Structure 1
């Protein structure tokens, strides 16, 4: 892959990462509730999830999803249902202890466990079949003929995931710095973000493949 082509992909990846989405919202929420250190697990989970989607797109699953209405419908209902359940859970959660969470402190219950945060980041990333279809349409523009699956996954996947993880950590750090103000309406913070997840899940569940 030429340097010019990679630089074009780098710029495009930055633009894609800056597009608002469920993973950015999740990192923002976790950053406010648990701090930057713990939200690193969320961002890493999202990074692994996006890497899986890129690998699936390179393997042809994205094209298959775009061609099969039944497969796409099943995937979008599963993904939308997960986001709605996540939103309901967040809506019902008690007001978080925001603004006093120390990243070096012991885990604050099950919700703050690293494995749980990683799993949420990963699941939200892979729960949207439209992202898989998008990668299937987007990645071929930057692929080099003759370059195999693994080099493409390493270069394209590694570049995009690095940018996405860095962006989510930036969101988490910003939210954590704003946490003293968010703490004044902790319960409403949960409800606003919970409602947003429910809305995104509903839109995903009713979305078409285009």
Structure 2
């Protein structure tokens, strides 16, 4: 048996608590759900999930250790991710607002929403460092392959996080549908969504290495 039951339970509880803590991934899904509906929210959550798979693979291969020890690698990934988020936010803020403009807004394709979710997650170096710092605490070398344990724990964490994001997308998508039926509120939501992305980019840029 790869995992001791109490250790696995502790991991699940800690993982759920961390998933419930608001962060860039949560804000991305909420913004997409409120702006374009449940389908967009679900697709964005799937994008975040795929981004998590990248970090799990990277950590297993030692790339997370590189980000944790190399200041240059950390800064490159951090600034690319921050600029990408700010760019998305500025595009939203520059969109025309007002009742007529809102009615004519063209929603992003589901493919673009998925892609942006993946990129947003992949280009956040804090996620990679998190996997490196958090998962090893629950790996027991005496119970078999540490690499396999690492991957399985990462998949479990990614799955629980995705379920939470899907739930949020469902709730926020319903509220967003009401907003879109009210043009003035929809225009306000467009500005807020753009502001959220700019804020996420600034927050990522200001983060320091652990």
Relative to the length of structure 1, the TM-score reads 0.85
Q: Deviations over 1:70-104 (max 9, x none)?
A: 1111111101101111111222235599xxxxxxx
8 Å Cα contact 1:29/1:172 also seen in 2: no
Q: Deviations over 1:29-70 (max 9, x none)?
A: 221232223322211111010121122123222221111111
Q: Which moved more, 1:77-86 or 1:1-10?
A: 1-10
8 Å Cα contact 1:110/1:116 also seen in 2: no
Is residue 86 of structure 2 the alignment partner of residue 81 of structure 1?
A: no
8 Å Cα contact 2:135/2:150 also seen in 1: no
Is residue 150 of structure 2 the alignment partner of residue 152 of structure 1?
A: yes
For 2:198 and 2:148, how far apart are their aligned partners in 1? 36
For 2:91 and 2:146, how far apart are their aligned partners in 1? 43
For 1:80 and 1:73, how far apart are their aligned partners in 2? 10
8 Å Cα contact 1:78/1:127 also seen in 2: yes
Structure 1's unaligned 5+ residue stretches are 98-107
- RMSD over aligned Cα atoms: 2.2
Structure 2's unaligned 5+ residue stretches are 100-104
For 2:124 and 2:191, how far apart are their aligned partners in 1? 22
Is residue 52 of structure 2 the alignment partner of residue 54 of structure 1?
A: no
Specify the alignment match of 1:92 in structure 2: 94
1:161 to 152, 158, 163: 158
For 2:129 and 2:69, how far apart are their aligned partners in 1? 10
Specify the alignment match of 1:64 in structure 2: 66
Q: May I ask how many residue pairs the two structures share in their alignment?
A: 198
Is residue 187 of structure 2 the alignment partner of residue 194 of structure 1?
A: no
For 1:59 and 1:130, how far apart are their aligned partners in 2? 17
8 Å Cα contact 2:86/2:197 also seen in 1: yes
For 1:139 and 1:94, how far apart are their aligned partners in 2? 45
Q: What secondary structure, in the 3-state scheme, does the structure 1 residue paired with 2:126 have?
A: helix
Q: What secondary structure, in the 3-state scheme, does the structure 2 residue paired with 1:57 have?
A: helix
Is residue 173 of structure 2 the alignment partner of residue 173 of structure 1?
A: no
Relative to the length of structure 2, the TM-score reads 0.85
Specify the alignment match of 2:102 in structure 1: none
Specify the alignment match of 1:103 in structure 2: none
Q: Which moved more, 1:130-139 or 1:52-61?
A: 52-61
